[in-house]
Structure 1
């Protein structure tokens, strides 16, 4: 299937318990529900990755409650966000979707895998972490958190947050930001959500980080197939955290991508999409 990376994708709205949830769909096949990172909207996915995944799946991106174009308020826990994501999938008629969660979205995907295993297919955990209460994890550095929560991020900030300090990775980062910004890297880096959203998501994520919501206790109960992926130079969530996830989740698979940071899935979009497709095939 040939898909044009430059064709605008129509935005739809689904009524989920009175909240208007904004969403988009691209491609055909088994649904792949995409759970986004902290403070991102669905406009922050790299089109190259979405187009690559849409060759074999119906890729569904959306803004969860209280985020960007969606109504409602941001849930006070990531479990609340997981519940809304599954209700949304049900409302739009997607039976047993695969789930791909990146960063904060990967934390939400862990909860979905533990809580809704019978209602989903495979799960991809990209550039994410379990709770820091789990043995073997490395907490996120304060410098990264401080940069991630600034009111506005520059292209330099985004390079620090998402890419490695090498010529190859930095160049890939600028190219990705330009694709997201439709030819303008500065527009790609610009915040598309409010500071109210940032604060609410930050509070829910902190509960997850420090084990206050108990999400880490459900990892060994996960019975759906799980693929864990990470960049080898991720500043946000070190490779040790990916290893901790694989140790905790029964039969989880692992891939580490070279010379890459938190947005390895954009830098290595083709290879990552091939690996995801291979993993999900036949599930």
Structure 2
């Protein structure tokens, strides 16, 4: 077992595809590690220690910044296929031959690409608060949230990840406290990353013929996790993922939104551990 945890694991670097990837590893080594893929504008410090440390009790957890994000070098690509290819290069540069992948929000798009392109590299997949190519985003309130101003700015993530109910907001404030426990923090993402990730989303959601057909090719066991009322990527898209992927199961948590795993970290760790060890 690593002596480090979410708040103490040192930032390390590895070169691949001409990119210097920043990453942190901690937890119980020896089994199949789980690689985390972050949401829009997030860094390694945007994960919930209750989730990462919870999963690290039984397996090794690897957090990283994809190309151009925060402390990783290079430019952020403007499409998720390239982000997936970069993530695979990063994983292989660590000398790993098999991993589980978790992705939240746009990290879920990247996780799907890792599974599509990586083949046997990926054993199991966890998709949180995410959707599929060509998804209808008319019900999404992401533009409203991300264009508003917040005081303190950190409260943006209360609107993004949590519902406006008392119970959900209370869980959200507790998450924000946990999130800030680490002291040596990643720099925030650049304007280039924000623009590129936004452009990538536009390409991902563009309508196309047979837009769901690719999901049939993701055959790995998949756990789809979602909140009952996701205001960023509408909850219905998780149902579509479960329906179209050959080996997927779905958990929907009550009274929760985009960041359901941050509202129910202990329950999620229990469910994820059952899924990963089954």
Query: 1-side partners of 2:208 and 2:75: how far apart?
Result: 21
Deviations 1:258-278 (A, max 9, x none): 111111111111111111111
The answer to whether structure 1 residue 24 and structure 2 residue 20 are counterparts is no
When residues 95 and 213 of structure 1 are mapped into structure 2, their CA distance, relative to the original with a 3 A threshold, is farther
The answer to whether structure 1 residue 98 and structure 2 residue 96 are counterparts is no
1:60 to 37, 59, 62: 62
Q: Which residue of 2 aligns with 1:162?
A: 161
Mapped contact 2:123–2:220 kept (Cα < 8 A): yes
1:237 to 233, 236, 245: 233
Of the structure 1 ranges 63-72 and 242-251, higher mean CA displacement relative to structure 2 is found in 242-251
How large is the RMSD of aligned CA atoms in angstroms?
A: 2.6
1:1-283 matches, within 5 Å, as 7-28=7-28, 29-131=31-133, 133=134, 137-139=135-137, 141=139, 143-148=141-146, 154-182=153-181, 192-211=188-207, 216-282=212-278
When residues 221 and 183 of structure 1 are mapped into structure 2, their CA distance, relative to the original with a 3 A threshold, is closer
Other structure's SS at 2:103 match: strand
Q: What's the TM-score once normalised by structure 2's chain length?
A: 0.90
Query: 1-side partners of 2:141 and 2:241: how far apart?
Result: 24
**Structure 2 runs not aligned, ≥5 long:** none
Query: 2-side partners of 1:140 and 1:193: how far apart?
Result: 27
Task: Report the number of matched residues.
Answer: 274
Query: 2-side partners of 1:191 and 1:18: how far apart?
Result: 21
Structure 1 position 149, deviation (Å): 5.4
Of the structure 1 ranges 46-55 and 6-15, higher mean CA displacement relative to structure 2 is found in 6-15
Deviations 1:149-202 (A, max 9, x none): 568872432211110111111011111111111289xxx9x9821222111111
**Structure 1 runs not aligned, ≥5 long:** none
Mapped contact 1:65–1:72 kept (Cα < 8 A): yes
